[in-house]
C-alpha cells in the first residue's frame, strides 16, 4: 500500500474541475486523480495536462452510478488505504431556455447534483484520513434559492439539528412536488439547480457536524463553496472568471494547512465565509 497522499476531484475532465486538478498538480504534495464519467474525455484531459508538464492520474467516476463510486472507493482503499483530499465538483445545469419539462429538470438535476454527490460522500468520507479536506462545490445560487423558499423551509435548511435523512426527504419531496406541479404552493423556489445546491450546502453543514461528533480527533475540515461565475460550458463565455480563477476558492479549501481549525462546515466564496 502506498503512503503517498492522494487527492480526488470529481467531474474534472473540463471546466472548474479540470482547473482544480491543474492547481493541485502544482501544489498538492501527492497523487492527484482527475476523474471523469467518460474514460475517453478523462484520458484526453490528462494528456492536456501532460502537455503543460503536469502529471495527473486518471480514474473513471460517474457519480450517478453507485457501482462506479464503489469501484473508486475500493481502488483508493487498496492502493492508498484511504484518501486525503476529496473535491466534489461534478455537477449539471439545464440551460435557462431549455424546454424540458420542469419536473424532469428537477429529477435529473437533483439526481446528479444532490443524490450523486451524497452517494460519493457516503462511500468516500469514511476513507478520508486524519487532517483530510473535503470540498463540496455548491453555488451562490444556493443562497439566493434559500431566500426564495418559504419561511418554514428556510428554517429547516438553516437548522443546526437537521439530519441527513430529513434533508434527503426534503430533496425527494421537491422532486415529487414538481411532478404534481405544487412545488411553489409548497414553498419551493422555481429553480431546480438552486434547490439541488441548497441540498449540497446543507449536506456539507450536516457532514461537518457529524465529523465533529464522530471523528473530532481526526481534524478533518469539510466545507461547501462557490467558485464564482466562471467561463465554462455550464455558465458560458460571458462569465467573469476564468476556470483557473474559479478553482481558487475550492483549492484554498482543499489545501488548508494541517494546523488550521477552520473554516469547517461553512459556505465559502472568494475565500471568505458567508452567512447561510
Closest CA to 241 of 230, 225, 253, 257: 230
229 binding ligand NAP? (CB under 6 A)? yes
Q: Find out whether the peptide bond into 244 is cis, omega within 30 degrees of 0.
A: no
Q: Report the C-alpha gap between 235 and 241 in whole angstroms.
A: 10
Tell me whether residue 131 is one of the annotated catalytic residues: no
Per CB under 6 A, the segment of 24-32, 86-94, 150-158, 167-175 that binds ligand NAP is 86-94
Site for ligand NAP in 132-191 (CB under 6 A): 137, 139
SS3 56: coil
> How far apart are CB 120 and ligand NAP at their closest, in Å?
9
Q: How far is CA 30 from CA 26, 45, 232, in A?
A: 10, 19, 27
Distance of CA 28 to the CA centre of its chain: 19
Q: Report the C-alpha gap between 253 and 24 in whole angstroms.
A: 11
209 binding ligand NAP? (CB under 6 A)? no
Number of chain residues interacting with ligand NAP (CB under 6 A) = 33
Would you say 7 or 235 has its CB closer to ligand NAP?
235
Would you say 75 or 229 has its CB closer to ligand NAP?
229
> How far apart are CB 139 and ligand NAP at their closest, in Å?
4
Among 9, 23, 90, 162, binds ligand NAP (CB under 6 A): 90
Per CB under 6 A, the segment of 5-13, 49-57, 143-151, 264-272 that binds ligand NAP is 5-13
Among 233, 237, 259, 261, binds ligand NAP (CB under 6 A): 233
The string of DSSP letters for 124-163 reads HGGGEEEEEEEEEE--HHHHHHHHTS-HHHHHHHH-SS--
Length of the chain: 276
Would you say 17 or 265 has its CB closer to ligand NAP?
17
Would you say 112 or 223 has its CB closer to ligand NAP?
112
Max Cα separation, the chain? 54
118 binding ligand NAP? (CB under 6 A)? no
Would you say 5 or 15 has its CB closer to ligand NAP?
15
85 binding ligand NAP? (CB under 6 A)? no
Q: Report the C-alpha gap between 261 and 221 in whole angstroms.
A: 8
Strand partners, 85: 7, 133
Q: What are phi and psi of 31, to 5 degrees?
A: -80, 135
Would you say 65 or 186 has its CB closer to ligand NAP?
65
Among 6, 7, 80, 89, binds ligand NAP (CB under 6 A): 89
82 binding ligand NAP? (CB under 6 A)? no
Q: How far is CA 232 from CA 52, 87, 102, 137, in A?
A: 20, 18, 23, 15
SS3 256: coil
> How far apart are CB 243 and ligand NAP at their closest, in Å?
7
Q: Which residues are catalytic?
A: 193
Amino acid at each position: 500500500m502506498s503512503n503517498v497522499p492522494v487527492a480526488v476531484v470529481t467531474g474534472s475532465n473540463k471546466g472548474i474541475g479540470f482547473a482544480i486538478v491543474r492547481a493541485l498538480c502544482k501544489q498538492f504534495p501527492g497523487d492527484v486523480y482527475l476523474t471523469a464519467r467518460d474514460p475517453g474525455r478523462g484520458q484526453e484531459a490528462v494528456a492536456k495536462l501532460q502537455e503543460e508538464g503536469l502529471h495527473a492520474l486518471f480514474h473513471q467516476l460517474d457519480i450517478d452510478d453507485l457501482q462506479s463510486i464503489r469501484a473508486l472507493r475500493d481502488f483508493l482503499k487498496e492502493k492508498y488505504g484511504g484518501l486525503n483530499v476529496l473535491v466534489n465538483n461534478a455537477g449539471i445545469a439545464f440551460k435557462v431556455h431549455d424546454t424540458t419539462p420542469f419536473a424532469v429538470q428537477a429529477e435529473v438535476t437533483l439526481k446528479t447534483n444532490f443524490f450523486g454527490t451524497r452517494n460519493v460522500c457516503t462511500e468516500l468520507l469514511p476513507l478520508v484520513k486524519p487532517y483530510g479536506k473535503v470540498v463540496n462545490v455548491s453555488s451562490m445560487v444556493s443562497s439566493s434559492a434559500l431566500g426564495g423558499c418559504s419561511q418554514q423551509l428556510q428554517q429547516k435548511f438553516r437548522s443546526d439539528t437537521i439530519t441527513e435523512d430529513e434533508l434527503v426527504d426534503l430533496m425527494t419531496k421537491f422532486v415529487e412536488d414538481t411532478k404534481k406541479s405544487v412545488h411553489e404552493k409548497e414553498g419551493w423556489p422555481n429553480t431546480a439547480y438552486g434547490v439541488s445546491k441548497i441540498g449540497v450546502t446543507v449536506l456539507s453543514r450536516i457532514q461537518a457536524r457529524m465529523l465533529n461528533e464522530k471523528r473530532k480527533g481526526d481534524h478533518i475540515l469539510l466545507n461547501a463553496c462557490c467558485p464564482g461565475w466562471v467561463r465554462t460550458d455550464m455558465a458560458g463565455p460571458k462569465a467573469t472568471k476564468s476556470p483557473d480563477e474559479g478553482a481558487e476558492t475550492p483549492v484554498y479549501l482543499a489545501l488548508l494547512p494541517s494546523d488550521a481549525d477552520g473554516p469547517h462546515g461553512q459556505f465559502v466564496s472568494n475565500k471568505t465565509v458567508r452567512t447561510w
